[in-house]
Amino acid sequence: MIYDVAVVGAGACGLTTAIFLNSKKTILFDSKTGAAKLSITGNNRCNITNLTDFDSFFDNYKPNGQFLRNSLSSFSQSDLIKFLKSLKIKTKTVKNRVVLENSTSKELSDKILKTAVKKTLFFPNTPIVDMKQDNELFILKTKKTTYKSKFVVLACGGMSYPQTGSNGLCYKTAAKIGHTIIKPAPFEVPFCSENTKNLQGLSFSNVELTLKIDKKKIKTKGDIIFTHFGISGPAILKLSENDFKNAELIIKLINKDEDEIKQRLLNYKGKAKNLIKKFLSVRFVDSNIKTEKYAKELSKKDINQILDTIFRFSMDVKKCSFDRAFVTKGGVSLKEINPKTMESNIIKNLFFCGEIMDIQGSIGGFNLQAAFSTGFLTAKTINARINNNRH
Ligand SMILES: Cc1cc2nc3c(=O)[nH]c(=O)nc-3n(C[C@H](O)[C@H](O)[C@H](O)COP(=O)(O)OP(=O)(O)OC[C@H]3O[C@@H](n4cnc5c(N)ncnc54)[C@H](O)[C@@H]3O)c2cc1C
């Protein structure tokens, strides 16, 4: 049997391709049960897209955002919202971010997967381990058998959260048939650090952060949360977009003037740490301000130590690995993919969509929109090609 299209990967983009393809002879493979990553997005409330205006939208995928112009035009944010509505999934907008209104990410992924499975021959738990082209047909190998197809879509995702099935195997497949792989790296990733176990669960809103990479200082403001492995939260994920191996993170933990706190310490009658507990959580103070001295007994050095702890809390950090990364940076070089069609410039009838490509967005719905838009454009191109071949 020769299939029209083989879609490798049943994540957001592969499922979109499968749903919008017209051919009834489509096979869909997934290493796991399908849609595993989609089912855990946005802390179960999936940030599906972002309504930032058309031009600044692409700035959220530095440096390669312009690659998405055609795909976003062919399947925009409103097309995505309409598509979800057709699946009875309602969305709402919170500060430009479009999130699910009543459904969970798991419900969303179940519906999308079910819709795609109805239209294809689906092989869950069947990774494609090798692929070659022979007389204009693709031969795809699983562990047990081979399949032939006229078109192939590599929709295998990146390497983040490898337990969801996207483990980088397809980079090898793409490289073997001639594509360049830009070195994958964790992106939108928490920072790992020693000694944060006692702070686990403590969160801070709108704090000032400075990331010191050698002599360079990068500043931002936002929400953070300490975890058992280090520190996470939107502000940390944003900082993780910078390239570095080891860095120092300095956090201004309270939104107050340093001189004011110093004066209050000098005039305070009780134990110094009790004053600080008025501004910071008891757990934080007990584990980080060790002195039991009364404020009036503090030496200059003690005062500076306390002020450093709350205004310049310092941690040695590095990016955590793919296991904790939300997105993968790098992947199949965009120079080798036609942005108007999503077809490979090297191998005819081979297509790419989603995170497998060297495109990565900020958090806030950008990665899913990229996956849905490129998945749709892939289907549109293949539909037109099959239609033309018939006439
Ligand atoms: C915890 C978490 C939360 C996130 N939240 C959001 C969010 O709220 N909003 C947002 O925009 N983005 C979010 N993202 C990012 C977003 O989920 C991804 O960018 C997006 O799902 C990528 O879609 P994809 O289809 O390209 O790849 P994936 O969803 O990774 O799908 C690829 C599929 O291919 C399969 N596969 C891999 N190799 C093979 C093979 N050799 N053979 C067969 N199948 C294979 C895998 O099993 C997988 O199912 C989040 C990511 C994580 C990890």
Q: Is residue 35 located within the same domain as residue 100?
A: yes
Question: Which residue type is seen at 364?
Answer: G
Mutation to probe ligand 1, out of 166, 176, 189, 337 (largest number of atoms < 8 A from CB) = 166
Q: Is residue 256 located within the same domain as residue 277?
A: yes
Distance 34 CA to ligand 1 centre (A): 10
Q: Is residue 183 located within the same domain as residue 195?
A: no
Distance 349 CA to ligand 1 centre (A): 23
* Domain boundary pick from 319, 343, 377: 319
The residue nearest atom 11 of ligand 1, judged by CA position, is 365
Q: Is residue 83 located within the same domain as residue 166?
A: yes
What is the Cα–Cα distance from 10 to 38, expressed in whole angstroms? 10
Distance 169 CA to ligand 1 centre (A): 14
Q: Is residue 75 located within the same domain as residue 113?
A: yes
Structure tokens at 330: 């790098």
pLDDT tens, residue by residue, 318-327: 999 999 999 9
In the sheet with 91-94, reading across from the earlier edge strand, the strands are: 47-50, 97-100, 91-94
DSSP state of 71: H
The residue nearest atom 23 of ligand 1, judged by CA position, is 12
Domain that residue 212 falls in: 191-319
Q: Is residue 141 located within the same domain as residue 22?
A: yes
Specify whether the backbone of 233 is left (phi greater than 0), alpha (psi in -120 to 50) or beta: left
The residue nearest atom 52 of ligand 1, judged by CA position, is 326
- Helix then strand then coil, in percent of the chain rounded to 5, is 40, 25, 35
Q: Is residue 152 located within the same domain as residue 251?
A: no
Q: Is residue 205 located within the same domain as residue 284?
A: yes
Mutation to probe ligand 1, out of 19, 41, 123 (largest number of atoms < 8 A from CB) = 41
What is the count of structural domains for the chain?
2
What is the Cα–Cα distance from 174 to 287, expressed in whole angstroms? 50
Q: How far from 157 is each of 10, 50, 294, 369, CA to CA, in Å?
A: 9, 20, 57, 14
* Domain boundary pick from 292, 319, 346: 319
pLDDT tens, residue by residue, 340-382: 999 999 999 999 999 999 999 999 999 999 999 999 999 999 9
Distance 262 CA to ligand 1 centre (A): 49
pLDDT tens, residue by residue, 16-74: 999 999 999 999 999 999 999 999 999 888 999 999 998 899 999 989 999 999 999 99
pLDDT for 388: 87
pLDDT for 258: 95
What is the Cα–Cα distance from 371 to 379, expressed in whole angstroms? 12
Q: Is residue 169 located within the same domain as residue 22?
A: yes
What is the Cα–Cα distance from 18 to 120, expressed in whole angstroms? 7
pLDDT for 269: 94
* Domain boundary pick from 295, 319, 343: 319
The residue nearest atom 31 of ligand 1, judged by CA position, is 11
More confidently predicted of 142 and 196:
142
Q: Is residue 355 located within the same domain as residue 378?
A: yes
Q: Which atom of ligand 1 is nearest to the CA of 173?
A: 41
pLDDT tens, residue by residue, 283-340: 999 999 989 999 999 999 999 999 999 999 999 999 999 999 999 999 999 999 999 9
Show the ligand 1 pocket: residues with CB < 6 angstroms. Answer: 8-14, 29-32, 34, 36-38, 40-42, 46-47, 127-128, 155-157, 160-161, 164-166, 169-170, 326-327, 354-355, 365-368, 371
Q: Is residue 282 located within the same domain as residue 168?
A: no
The domain that holds 53 is classified in CATH as: 3.50.50.60
The residue nearest atom 42 of ligand 1, judged by CA position, is 127
pLDDT for 222: 96
Q: Is residue 159 located within the same domain as residue 217?
A: no
78, exposed or middle or buried, with CB in 10 Å at 0-12, 13-18, 19+? exposed
